[in-house]
Structure 1
Amino acid sequence: MYLYFHAYYQDYKAIINIHTCEIIEGVLPPKQMKLVLAWTEIHKDELLADWQLASRGELPFQIEPLK
């Protein structure tokens, strides 16, 4: 079972595996891909916690965005 999230940038979209910090579907431009994957690694624990909340129908906590 994949724990994942969707990332969007302009007309691009990708699905990111939270555990492996890899794109499992779709594509992003190289610069944005590096930023999103680094952000995923930094916020992995928060993403996993939010995944659990969302899977129970609860609102996830806000995670600090890319800057």
Structure 2
Amino acid sequence: MPIVSMFYGIIVRMYADDHNPPHMHVEYQGAKAVYSLEGDVLSGELPRKQHRLVAAWAAIHEDELKASWEVCHAGEQPMRIDPLR
């Protein structure tokens, strides 16, 4: 599964053949969660601090995440998105 971004030990991925609604898979030290592109948890759980970081990052990059989802589902690699700094 292609990596969209990595920051502070958090890995964000998107599957090309994944189902709707648009979402991303996030992992941190074995904890896994699925987030909407707006930063809401759809399933799973991350530690609170990492959840806040992912939600903030998603808010900053929402337009890029949506574009990456479209590119990904058109059969191409999802775009890389800048990490949270």
Q: TM-score normalized by structure 2?
A: 0.73
Q: Percent identity?
A: 41
- Which of the pair is proportionally richer in helix? 1
Question: Which of 1 and 2 has higher RCO (CA within 8 Å, sep 6+)?
Answer: 2
Query: Deviating runs (4+, > 3 A) in structure 1?
Result: none
1:2 and 2:55 aligned: no
**Alignment RMSD (CA, Å):** 1.0
Q: Which runs of 5+ in 1 are unaligned?
A: none
Q: Which runs of 5+ in 2 are unaligned?
A: 1-19
| Cα distance per residue 1:26-60 (max 9 Å; x no partner) | 00000000000110010000000000000011122
Q: TM-score normalized by structure 1?
A: 0.91
Shift of 1:61: 1.7
